[in-house]
A = this chain, B = another copy of it.
Amino acid sequence: MDPFGILYTDLYQLTMGQVYFQMGLHEREALFEAFYRRNPDYGAHQAGYTVFAGLDPLLSWMESARFGEEEIAALRALKSRSGKPLFAEDYLRYLREMGGFSGLTLRALPEGRVAHPQVPLIAVEGPLLQAQLLETALLNRINYETLIATKASRVREAAGEAVVLEFGLRRAPGKGGESATRASLIGGANRSSAVSLSHLLGLPSSGTHAHSLVQAYLALGYSELDAFRAFAEVFPDDTILLLDTVDTLESGLPHAIQVFEELRRKGHRPVGVRIDSGDLAYLAIQVAKELDRAGFPEVLIVLSGDLDELVIWQIKSQILEEAPRYGVDPDRLIRRLVYGVGTKMVVSWGAPALGGVYKLVAVRENGTWAPAIKISDSLEKILNPGHKGVYRVYDERGLATADLLTLAEEALDPDLPLVLRHPTDATKRRVLPPGRYTLEPLLEEVYRGRRLFDPLPLPLLQERRAKDVQRLDPGVRRLVNPHVYHVSLSERLFALKEELLRRLGG
């Protein structure tokens, strides 16, 4: 059985399914929404937004996931505590005939776009049983990829125009490396070191050599210089040399310069050096100075070793301050840097999970959507009920100023003031005068029994992300202590929520 097939799910989806089936509710039309409640908080720094990712792999999975012979046999083998089969034969037959998710319609935020808490990322509509069964796989994909794309977007923000390479496969979570690489690239990494994954995403992979090359040469009685020369001989136009196996400034750097000079004499252009340990900012300055002096001002300096957005920011700040003292132009140095980012990006260090949830918000009753709500001790956790419209509101500068949830049937008149209600605090509201705002509907239909479009090329997703991030207020983009972006309800949705809470005694 394929471990990642339709049974890549939690058992309770299937037990609930049997209850719906036996009670005749399994084909009632339901609406679930996937959203998350809080942006990642890394401790010393916090995200002011997320980058939505994971949609495309989910849609591909939905098209292929099926209850086949093996899946039904696995379910048939599960036993009740009574010793009898847990699942009834008529239910299993129904699943087998149903196949997969052909009854569902999904509207979703386009992948790669900026997202905010409480705002539906995906709305799933269809038979209660199918919609319920989708939960685990949906959350599994979008929670992790959104988390990593968000971290990568922060790394991209810190790195500015520099090239960012994703190096994380060895610390990535097993086969989850597939998602880590994809999400890192959507979020802003330029290339990945992962060979098969890059290939399948239509990108060349990236990488040169590790410490072990130099170590092997040393252990065999050769020298670091011999190792560098061998590399340059085999890859004369792609030579990036790792400086810190023996000693960055005393050994690696002079040996690299010697080999670069040899390459130059043979008519080749050396590409770069890499530094993987030590005080990266200080070493980058010294390395740049010596490379300049030797006539290699174009040679790239790749930095790696436990980098994240704060470390990159710190390196750049330190270079700006320290480089002039050594006669090095800090701006030119920063422009020749490349960042190799691994572990801390692919595990979202500091905030290693996104708490995305999937909640029933409405069921169809006699042709109209009856809103569902779940009361909770914490105000933040109370659902925004019902079938909804989802908009992004832009101000006169073209910057996103709020996301807005409305009733689905609500028509927003652009000639009227727009009232934005706080989702829980009745005393807080903003009013935008007509002509001073524009509205963009956020969700697109992406699945109706089958996916409605082909997988998008990665550059398009990267462009979406970049465009959306540029339309955020700089305060929301800030790496540390960002402004809170407004997520608001329309007057009518706010009123519905209040009424439902009152009715349920909340």
Which A residues form the contact surface with B (CB < 8 A)? 1-5, 7-16, 18-20, 22-23, 25, 28, 30, 32, 54, 57, 71, 74-75, 77-82, 84, 86, 128, 132, 135-136, 139-141, 143-145, 167, 169-180, 193-197, 199-200, 204-213, 215-216, 218-221, 230-231, 233-238, 245-247, 269, 271, 277-278, 343-344, 347-349, 352-356, 358-360, 362-363, 365, 370-377, 381, 504
Contacts and interface: CB of A to CB of B under 8 A. Distances in A.
Contacts of A145: 174
B219 A177 contact: no
19 contacts: A7-B196, A7-B199, A11-B195, A13-B210, A15-B209, A15-B234, A15-B235, A15-B238, A22-B234, A28-B216, A81-B237, A135-B212, A143-B171, A144-B174, A171-B353, A173-B180, A176-B179, A219-B365, A347-B352
A298 B14 CA distance: 26
Given A209-B16, A246-B375, A355-B171, A3 B196 contact: yes
B372 A195 contact: no
Indicate the member of A15, A32, A195, A220 with the most B CB atoms within 10 Å.
A195
A177 B359 CA distance: 22
Given A141-B174, A271-B81, A277 B360 contact: no
Nearest to A71: B196
Given A15-B208, A193-B12, A219-B360, A199 B235 contact: no
A247 B375 contact: yes
A262 to B, nearest CB: 16
B349 A353 contact: yes
A-B residue pairs, 3 tightest by C-beta:
A176-B176, A174-B179, A173-B176
B170 A10 contact: yes
Residue among A79, A220, A363, A375 having the largest count of chain B Cβ atoms under 10 Å: A220
